[in-house]
Structure 1
Amino acid sequence: MSGYTALTQAHYRAFVRDKTSLFFTFAFPLIFIVVFGLLFGDQSVPGGRHVIDYMAPGVMAWGVGNGALFGVAYTLMHWRRSDVLRLVRLTPTSVFTVMASRFVVVLGIGVVQAALFIAIATLPVFGLTVTAQGVLLSLPVLLLGILAFFSIGLIVGTYANSPDAVAAIANCVMIPMAFLSGSFFPMSQSPGWLQGFSRILPLRYMNEGVTNVLSGTKGASSLLVPCAGLLVFAAVFALLAAKTFKWGKES
């Protein structure tokens, strides 16, 4: 068995055995869909669309990004704190292999999250409209979004030294970003200054990309800016993560 396969299996087993992580990854974000969908989902916004058409993709993007960031940050912190990474370093396993094995698991979790969100939001009680083409077009946005937040999570996991620190930093990053990026309301209804400010946040691009194509109202050309923005964020944070990576608590 290769080091990559062994690490991938270890990441997967650790995740499925952690009931708390399972709940906050899958069930907790769905609470927002249910609550906000029942309260505001059938209300209309300028353009003739319903709030659910903006809110469901936004909450889905936030939930997937949150899962990617928190999952890798906690794992990296725990493995470094318990000296697992030091043991890995003694093997012919590179940093890239360690991170790639974790990313595959995070990517799979993100896809399952997205599928679950869409399945719930398209129930008649909520009424989200999606098309098969829209679902396919949203996949590259999800991939790049997961990569961007995974890279941020690597940095958080490098500097956080306890589970409480991971939770505090991850929440300080993701909760304000959700409100500033339009995850819970259409950005068109926010002030102009906020719409401009949100352009420096990766979640804005992820929200915009998924919302543009999921219901089939826009085509592939509408993904150019969101995908380019997410790619830039992913590259910048991945470079920072590579520069700051630590194998142990002191290194």
Structure 2
Amino acid sequence: MSRLGRVAAETRAAWYAFTRRRTAVFFTFFFPVILILIFGVLVRTDPTSGGLFTEPAGYYVAGYIAVVVLFTPLSRVGSEVARHREGNRFEKLATTPLSRAEWLLAQTLVNVAVIGLAAVLILGLVLAVTDAAFSPSPLVVPYVAVGVALFCGLGAILGRVADSQDGVVAASNGVALPLLFLSRTFVPPALLPAWFRPLMELSPLTYFARGLRAATFPSAAADNAGLVGTDPYLNLAVLAVLAVAFFAAGAVALPRTD
């Protein structure tokens, strides 16, 4: 079987494995719905007041998408790696032609499809229940695909480091929550100490949120530009380089035996 055939077969198997877990399917799509209903409908934004959520509603659309791009791959791939380790499945995979990179690529493709659907749901809900201004851009597709690939690689690393599925959940939350609020998603840089703002450039989620926001909400370009500015193509290029690095590290981290 060719490499393409191996990846396609593993992708189908991973997709069916995901859809059979109804709880995982439900919360994958339920979580962003709750997030938008809480922050977009109940809390709302108030550009005239101080504190959090003072930007226009359209500013936070990139943050909503960043939530699923960050949390879903970390938890799903990390848990899948931990599940394979506990079931000695990597030892069985080592006897097949399927390489570790091909296995991770198949998992990534499934996550791209799942999170792509979740992103469409998010955009539809935002337009339906909030007054967010949103400029459609074809760059949404590569941003989601590249971002998912990056965090799938990081999820694979967490799955290798953690000693159980419970450990993966704890580790993924421990990584994702600080990144979510310190990466230009929901908290504008102006609200953070001046000494901390350059450190935000160390987060890959910064390039995702800033670039996607620049592509879909152009008025945010006046925000503190950071290392590569607000050009969506430059931010996507940096994100792509980081995605290749994290994906390669994740593939290497996958065990051959358990």
TM over 0.5: yes
Question: Match for residue 37 of structure 1?
Answer: 40
Question: Match for residue 129 of structure 1?
Answer: 133
Tell me which moved more, 202-211 or 137-146.
Answer: 137-146
Tell me which moved more, 23-32 or 78-87.
Answer: 23-32
Structure 2 residue 235 is the aligned partner of structure 1 residue 226: yes
Q: How many Å apart are 1:50 and its aligned residue?
A: 4.6
Question: Match for residue 16 of structure 1?
Answer: 19
Asked if structure 1 preserves the Cα contact closer than 8 Å seen for 2:160 and 2:253, the reply is yes
Tell me which moved more, 226-235 or 156-165.
Answer: 226-235
Count of residue pairs the alignment pairs up: 243
Q: How many Å apart are 1:155 and its aligned residue?
A: 0.5
Instruction: Give runs of ≥4 in structure 1 deviating > 4 Å.
Output: 216-219
Q: How many Å apart are 1:108 and its aligned residue?
A: 0.6
Asked if structure 1 preserves the Cα contact closer than 8 Å seen for 2:179 and 2:203, the reply is yes
Asked if structure 1 preserves the Cα contact closer than 8 Å seen for 2:94 and 2:257, the reply is no
Identity of aligned residues (%): 27
- Measure the CA separation in 2 of the matches of 1:35 and 1:194: 28
TM-score using structure 1 length: 0.87
Q: How many Å apart are 1:129 and its aligned residue?
A: 1.9
Structure 2 residue 250 is the aligned partner of structure 1 residue 241: yes
Question: Residues 213 and 159 from structure 1, CA distance in 2 versus in 1: closer, same or farther, beyond 3 angstroms?
Answer: same
Asked if structure 2 preserves the Cα contact closer than 8 Å seen for 1:53 and 1:215, the reply is yes
Structure 2 residue 94 is the aligned partner of structure 1 residue 85: no
User: Residues 1-251 of structure 1 correspond to what in structure 2 (within 5 A)?
Assistant: 2-44=5-47, 50-123=55-128, 125-132=129-136, 134=137, 136-215=138-217, 217=219, 222-249=231-258
- Measure the CA separation in 1 of the matches of 2:34 and 2:196: 26
Question: Residues 195 and 216 from structure 1, CA distance in 2 versus in 1: closer, same or farther, beyond 3 angstroms?
Answer: same
Q: How many Å apart are 1:218 and its aligned residue?
A: 7.8
Asked if structure 1 preserves the Cα contact closer than 8 Å seen for 2:57 and 2:132, the reply is yes
Asked if structure 2 preserves the Cα contact closer than 8 Å seen for 1:51 and 1:185, the reply is no
